[in-house]
């Protein structure tokens, strides 16, 4: 029986605004799934969407539509993106799928009956964009320690999962299975920051969120979205349903691939739940790094201020899915973060795909066309550098396999491209164009061109999991589309096989011209000048990665008069320590003076602020930001690029004047 391989991506929030960072996890998983399929393994590759929770509920409410009306178009967009990127999954699970909901309920019931879930009261802080609970001591400057956004204090009846009970067993598992969580750097964080510090029981139900899975033993509560979401890895296989054939065939997961920001959920909460259910733990969890833009995690809001083209649909349209896949799989050192720029992206296409791979294939095809009528000549006697090229081809699969076992796609590609580079050097060394001029060297010419054609074939077979289209095109040019890893022995290519000139795999791009084009394209796509088709895209969620605020519901004049707006004069201003964004102003409003903190440090210096007349919301509940009291909010206008500009009265007005 074939060895099974069960691989999963996280399930995506239906947030829309998809960018190339979103594609990272799934493209890596697709390459791994394809690689294991080619090894003859029985692969199940799961991806999907995480559709419940407060975020979706609120976004739908804002638009006066149902959560499903909000989600459906976004799920279609995501599926389109995977289709465009040639991602071949076995199942796309949605947490709103009826079978998933039933299984989640069965899981809660089981944990409730075994005493691992109990009723109590939850008091703590909740970050809605991250759907995460925090204790006061875990907050960073009063904000969510993961994303830095506002949290809200919540107190409600809740069911709890006995997470604390599983800390010792989890620690033991980490000790016994050093390969459980990778890369190694993430283990220290989990073990030292969480497990050794002791775990608190986890609130796993909400009464305030209606858009979720109702608990079977108490319908006033819905399941905490993270538990609902994590369970997808087993519900997708039918765990807890009448037909659990797939579950018995594929569980446990061979690999959960996740972004580093969600390792905590996968490497602590998820295994504890599995332990409570009496199920085996996943073999491996891998926390990959991020694509960065300007040093920060790539997100649509970051994109706005940059010339980088990060829209996957646009990238695939312009450069083809293989180019996007190649960049993602090759450029970012695995496990680390990597900065994304247009220049690096095009640089990779030009250097590796157009120059190295494209040239090898097109030169080989051209020379076989000119000298042997477009069919592969017979293999000849080995001489000169032949042995080295053949040996490298022979060793390539072993290296690629070891790299892929270590989940290191960049190294796997580097190993394949080392063969490509060696073959290009081989052309320079053997100078087939000179051999072609001498009829006595025809046999040698044949041998050289055979070796090159066979190297093209072997590289194409190895590249299939990574660049399915380009690899397919090279192999189709030889009528060898079906070649798999069992065809890799050098010499498999038969003399007489056609290998005719095909359109270039990756046309070379004029870097300077293209960068200028991209800058124009991105500028034209900014929200202020959104093109018609762009504007017709379905409404997308503003949190966690706000692009443009959704239209707000109508309010009455009475609602408006609840706001107290006054003109104030900034009399002193300084930077807030430990914050790049915040300024602390002392604002004189009539006879009173207020302390106000505003997120405008990137746009105004403290010196510039002093003396400015500003509009202040004066009846906002005071809050502390980074430990500094803020007793109001200064109004700013935000342009399409996220730049802030103070709102000031047009004529001279005394401070304290009412704004209405």
Binding site for ligand ME8 (CB under 6 A): 10-13, 21-22, 24-25, 50, 229-230, 258-259, 261-262, 290-291, 297-298
* 197-206 burial code (b ≥16 CB/10 A, e <16): eebebbbbbb
Could you tell me the end-to-end alpha-carbon distance of the chain, in angstroms, rounded to an integer?
76
- How many angstroms separate the CA atoms of 422 and 428, rounded? 10
CB-wise, 50 or 386, nearer to ligand ME8? 50
Count other Cβ atoms within 10 Å, centred on residue 623: 13
State in angstroms the smallest separation of the CB of 322 from ligand ME8. Answer: 20
- Beta carbon of residue 50, minimum distance to ligand ME8 (angstroms, whole number): 4
Rg (CA), the chain: 29
CA 245 centroid distance within chain: 31
Q: Cβ of 377: how many Cβ atoms within 10 Å?
A: 21
Q: What is the dihedral of CA 204, 210, 213, 217, to 10 degrees?
A: 70
Q: From the CB of 271, what's the least distance to ligand ME8, in Å? A: 13
Compute the least distance from the CB of residue 329 to ligand ME8, in Å: 13
Cβ proximity to ligand ME8, 50 vs 631, nearer residue: 50
Residue 9 C-beta: closest distance to ligand ME8, Å:
7
Phi, psi of 588 (to 5 degrees): -90, 125
Which residue lies nearest ligand ME8, judged by its C-beta? 259
Least separation in angstroms between CB 525 and ligand ME8: 18
Q: What torsion do the CA atoms of 140, 144, 148, 151 make, to the nearest 10 degrees?
A: -120
Give the C-alpha separation, 460 to 499, whole Å: 13
Nearer Cβ to ligand ME8, position 36 or 266? 266
Closer CB to ligand ME8, 47 or 618, in the complex:
47
Neighbours of 229 (CB within 10 A): 26
Q: Which is nearer to ligand ME8, 246 or 285 (CB)?
A: 285
Q: Please name every residue paired with 258 in a beta bridge, in sequence order, or none if there are none.
A: 287
656 conformational bin, left if phi > 0, alpha if psi -120 to 50, beta if neither = left
Q: Torsions phi, psi of 290, nearest 5?
A: -110, 155
- Concatenated DSSP letters of 49-62: E---SHHHHHHHHH
103 or 451: whose CB is closer to ligand ME8? 103
- Whose Cβ is closer to ligand ME8: residue 226's or residue 426's? 226
Cβ distance to ligand ME8 smaller for residue 13 or 604: 13
Least Å distance between CB 10 and ligand ME8? 3
In the complex, what is the shortest distance from the CB of residue 24 to ligand ME8, in angstroms, rounded to a whole number?
A: 4
């Amino acid at each position: 029986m074939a060895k099974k391989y069960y691989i999963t991506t996280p399930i995506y929030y239906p947030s829309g605004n998809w960018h190339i960072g979103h594609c990272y996890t799934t493209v890596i998983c697709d390459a791994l799934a394809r690689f294991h399929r080619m090894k003859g393994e029985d692969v199940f590759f799961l991806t999907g969407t995480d559709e419940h929770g407060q975020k979706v509920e609120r976004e739908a409410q804002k638009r006066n539509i149902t959560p499903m009306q909000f989600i459906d178009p976004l799920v279609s967009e995501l599926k389109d993106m995977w289709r465009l990127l040639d991602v071949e999954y076995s199942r796309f699970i949605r947490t709103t799928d009826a079978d998933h909901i039933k299984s989640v309920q069965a899981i809660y019931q089981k944990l409730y009956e075994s005493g691992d879930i109990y009723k109590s009261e939850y008091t703590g802080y909740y970050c809605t964009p991250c759907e995460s609970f925090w204790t006061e001591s875990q907050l960073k400057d009063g904000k969510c320690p993961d994303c830095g956004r506002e949290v809200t204090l919540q107190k409600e009846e809740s069911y709890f999962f006995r997470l604390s009970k599983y800390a010792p067993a989890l620690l033991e598992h980490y000790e016994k299975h050093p390969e459980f969580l990778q890369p190694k750097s993430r283990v220290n964080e989990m073990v030292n920051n969480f497990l050794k510090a002791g775990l608190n029981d986890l609130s796993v139900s909400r009464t305030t969120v209606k858009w979720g899975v109702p608990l079977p033993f108490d319908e006033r509560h819905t399941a905490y979205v993270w538990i609902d979401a994590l369970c997808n890895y087993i519900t997708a296989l039918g765990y807890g349903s009448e037909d659990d054939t797939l579950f018995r065939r594929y569980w446990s997961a061979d690999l959960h691939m996740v972004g580093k920001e969600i390792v905590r959920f996968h490497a602590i909460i998820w295994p504890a739940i599995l332990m409570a259910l009496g199920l085996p733990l996943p073999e491996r969890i891998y926390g990959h790094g991020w694509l960065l833009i300007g040093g920060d995690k790539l997100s649509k809001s970051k994109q706005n201020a940059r010339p980088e083209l990060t829209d996957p649909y646009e990238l695939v349209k312009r450069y083809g899915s293989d180019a996007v896949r190649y960049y993602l799989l090759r450029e970012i050192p695995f496990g680390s973060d990597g900065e994304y720029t247009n220049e690096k992206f095009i640089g990779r296409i030009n250097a590796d795909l157009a120059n190295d791979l494209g040239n090898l294939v097109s030169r080989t095809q051209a020379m076989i066309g000119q000298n042997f009528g477009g069919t592969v000549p017979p293999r000849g006697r080995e001489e000169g550098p032949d042995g080295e090229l053949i040996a490298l081809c022979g060793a390539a699969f072993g290296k690629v396999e070891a790299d892929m076992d270590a989940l290191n796609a960049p190294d796997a590609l580097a190993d394949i491209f080392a063969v490509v580079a060696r073959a290009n050097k081989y052309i320079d060394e053997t100078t087939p164009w000179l051999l072609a001029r001498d009829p006595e060297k025809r046999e040698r010419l044949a041998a050289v061109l055979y070796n090159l054609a066979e190297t093209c074939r072997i590289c194409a077979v190895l590249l299939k999991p990574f660049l399915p289209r380009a690899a397919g095109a090279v192999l189709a040019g030889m009528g060898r589309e079906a070649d798999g890893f069992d065809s890799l022995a050098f010499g498999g290519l038969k003399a007489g096989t056609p290998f005719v000139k095909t359109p270039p795999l990756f046309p070379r791009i004029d870097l300077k011209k293209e960068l200028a084009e991209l800058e124009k394209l991105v500028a034209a796509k900014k929200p202020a000048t959104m093109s018609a088709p762009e504007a017709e895209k379905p409404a997308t969620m503003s949190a966690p990665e706000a692009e443009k605020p959704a239209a707000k519901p109508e309010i009455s004049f009475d609602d408006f008069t609840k706001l107290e707006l006054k003109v104030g004069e900034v009399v002193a201003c300084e930077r807030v320590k430990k914050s790049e964004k915040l300024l602390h102003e002392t604002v004189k409003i009539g006879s009173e003076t207020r302390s106000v903190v505003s997120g405008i440090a990137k746009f105004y210096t403290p010196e510039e602020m002093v003396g400015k007349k500003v509009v202040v919301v004066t009846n906002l509940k005071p809050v502390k930001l980074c430990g500094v009291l803020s007793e109001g909010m200064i109004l700013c206008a935000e342009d399409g690029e996220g730049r802030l500009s103070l709102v000031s009265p047009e004529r001279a007005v005394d401070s304290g004047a009412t704004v209405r």
